[in-house]
Chains A and B, each alone.
Chain A
Amino acid sequence: SQQGEEDPQALSIQEGENATMNCSYKTSINNLQWYRQNSGRGLVHLILIRSNEREKHSGRLRVTLDTSKKSSSLLITASRAADTASYFCATYLLYNFNKFYFGSGTKLNVKP
């Protein structure tokens, strides 16, 4: 499979703590994106990082990309109960036109 795979599958933390999720992939990418899904809802785009970028920030989100290790991480700082959701990475492959691969997601539970 060329899909991104998130790790861990599930993560439970207290409000105020940081949450880190990892994504690994297998082939060269053009960019990698992170999405969030509330239970039973559609996916919502969070952040995009290009293959020539190493780190990107958006509010409480920090994404890193290591193309040599074919991995990315999503850090949510000062988590809130409202951050409870599943988080997916999506890879847009080099040389593959118009196809995104999603992983299985990390289910994050933030306890109030």
Chain B
Amino acid sequence: EPEVTQTPSHQVTQMGQEVILRCVPISNHLYFYWYRQILGQKVEFLVSFYNNEISEKSEIFDDQFSVERPDGSNFTLKIRSTKLEDSAMYFCASSASGGNTGELFFGEGSRLTVL
């Protein structure tokens, strides 16, 4: 069964360092998302991506964050200068048809620990 894969599963970084989290969405999906979850709490929307551009972003997704689809298969989230409060699980999701008709498929997440 097709699945969304995320790497790394866990990354530890020093405050101020840049981090890139990688995702491979399901191959025929067109809509991509990043969410984060702090300590098993609520799942917070960061950004959605469609047709090679950001379609929606939250107030959390400030200038420190960026996303790109560099090669047509990977979908990356970059945090330029990490802060302690960026420590969280980051989930990538993809959808064939967007939320209007379809479900989101989530990866297993990348745990980011900022020291």
Interface string of A93-112 (1 = CB under 8 A from B): 00011111111110000000
A33 at interface, CB cutoff 8 A: yes
Instruction: Tell me if B56 and A98 are in contact (CB < 8 A).
Output: yes
A105 contacts across to B, CB distance below 8 A:
42-43
Number of interface residues of B (CB under 8 A): 29
Known: A43-B106, A45-B105. A103 touches B99 (CB 8 A): no
Q: Which chain A residues have a beta carbon within 8 Å of chain B's beta carbons?
A: 3, 30-31, 33, 35, 39-45, 48, 86, 88, 90, 92, 96-105
Instruction: Tell me if A98 and B109 are in contact (CB < 8 A).
Output: no
Instruction: Tell me if A48 and B103 are in contact (CB < 8 A).
Output: yes
B48 contacts across to A, CB distance below 8 A:
98-99
**Would you call the interface of chain A mostly helix, strand, loop, or mixed?**
strand
Q: Which chain B residues have a beta carbon within 8 Å of chain A's beta carbons?
A: 4, 31, 33, 35, 40-45, 48, 50, 55-56, 58, 89, 91, 93, 98-100, 102-109
Known: A31-B99, A45-B103, A98-B50. A88 touches B56 (CB 8 A): no
Question: Roughly how many angstroms separate A44 CA and B4 CA in the complex, as a whole number?
Answer: 11
Question: Roughly how many angstroms separate A39 CA and B39 CA in the complex, as a whole number?
Answer: 11
Instruction: Tell me if B45 and A102 are in contact (CB < 8 A).
Output: yes
Instruction: Tell me if A86 and B55 are in contact (CB < 8 A).
Output: no
A92 contacts across to B, CB distance below 8 A:
99-100
Instruction: Name which residue of chain B comes closest to A104, CB basis.
Output: B42
Instruction: Tell me if A33 and B103 are in contact (CB < 8 A).
Output: yes
